[in-house]
Amino acid sequence: MLPPQKDRKNYYSILGLKTDATQGQIKTAYRKKAKQLHPDSNSYAGAEDKFMQLSEAYQVLRSPLQRNAYDIDKKPQKPLGKLPLQNCSWCKKVTAQPRFVIFREVVSHNFHSEAKEISGVFCSDCAQNAAIRASFKTWVLGWWGMPFGFILTIATLWRNLLGGRKPKTINSRLLLKQAKAFQSQGEFELAKATAEQARKYTKSPFYINQINSFKAPLKGKETKTLKNNWRFFNRSFAVQLAPILMIAIISGAFSYAFRDDEIKTKKSLEIVRQEEIKVIALPENGDSEFIYQTTSEFLHVRKGPSLHFGIISTLKKYSKVRLTGLVPKTSWVRIKTKNGSSGFVLFKHLVKSKYVKKD
């Protein structure tokens, strides 16, 4: 919130408040005055006009954006003398780079979630602190409301991570006002540099003309180069990003540690070479003792003695094969098919050829 100024349009006076009133005080004062002045309950001639003035004042002051715009413009410029410099609304220090920023925090209560805006004119350090504080409160209290607490929390943390919302029109007017204050105090270099910042915040021809008109008398003056205190990658960004990275790292570690044993086995078996598999060889020619037939409708012949090895071919039921090897300590055997291809199958799917009879 901006420092207290003279209430030129009497919006605060209409509500019976001081210029530093909180949003809660504004809402309470409006309800109280509305009951007194509402035309349905008040019959005197000027009641309707008074009620309309009250509604106009409340509509402006209830919105942080409109209120700050009103606070910036409400004090008339003095024709002579030095203009006051805009202070940070948190630390009260003068800054050449003030910004009006809106952060948000979410607080949830069971089935209700509330998003509250935190706005004001900040220096860069105080804006970073405000963002960190709002995000921390949201991390702790924002998730629990159902069903929208989670969604509001994600959106709020993302907005705060990116530096909050900086309305362009309000910031352009704020910076131009600060530039005029610097000019009135003889700080022409700062005045010109601040006006340059104001120009970057607006595309409105009206404000561009105002800024250009202000800069025209300063054309011969040197421009002071201001350090960019509002850069994107700053302390606030790092602090707010840290818990997100921590969650990602922990989730990845747990996923790696507790992944399915079958996947681990598959990956380990995929790197086993065919020649590294120990097989007890059986005679491949002549002896009919090692001729078998398949008993499964479709039997997959694999590259190695495991279900995780790739499939070479598929045999139909009653297909004749020759056993060419046994894999120790397993139920797998190596076979050779009629077309000469060799692979592995489970022995339980085979039976000696002379015992097989078709239906």
Please name which of 254, 272, 270 lies closest in space to residue 262, comparing C-alpha atoms. Answer: 270
Q: Find the domain containing 23 and state its range.
A: 11-73
In a domain? residue 96: no
Q: Running DSSP on this structure, what letter comes out for residue 75?
A: S
Q: Is the pTM of this model over 0.75?
A: no
In a domain? residue 62: yes
Amino acid at 73: D
In a domain? residue 56: yes
For residue 282, how many other CB atoms are within 10 A of its CB?
17
Q: Count structural domains, the chain.
A: 3
Please name which of 281, 291, 325, 320 lies closest in space to residue 305, comparing C-alpha atoms. Answer: 325
- pLDDT per residue as tens digits for the range 91-125: 999 888 899 999 999 999 878 888 899 999 999 99
In a domain? residue 300: yes
Strands annotated E in the chain? 99-109, 112-122, 280-281, 291-294, 298-302, 311-316, 320-326, 332-336, 342-346, 350-352
Domain boundary among 218, 240, 259: 218
Question: Is 331 in contact with 346 (CB distance < 8 Å)?
Answer: yes
77 confidence band (pLDDT: 50, 70, 90): very low
In a domain? residue 123: no
267 confidence band (pLDDT: 50, 70, 90): low
- pLDDT per residue as tens digits for the range 38-67: 766 766 766 767 877 888 888 888 888 778
74 confidence band (pLDDT: 50, 70, 90): low
Domain CATH number, residue 347: 2.30.30.40
Cα–Cα distance for residue pair 356/335, rounded to 1 Å: 18
Residue 272 has pLDDT above 70, yes or no: no
In a domain? residue 15: yes
In a domain? residue 19: yes
- pLDDT per residue as tens digits for the range 147-191: 788 899 999 999 999 999 999 888 998 999 999 999 888 888 888
Judge if 211 and 279 occupy the same domain. no
Q: Give the angle 343-346-351 at the CA atoms, nearest 5°.
A: 100
Backbone φ, ψ for residue 76 (5° rounding): -65, 145
In a domain? residue 198: yes
Domain CATH number, residue 60: 1.10.287.110
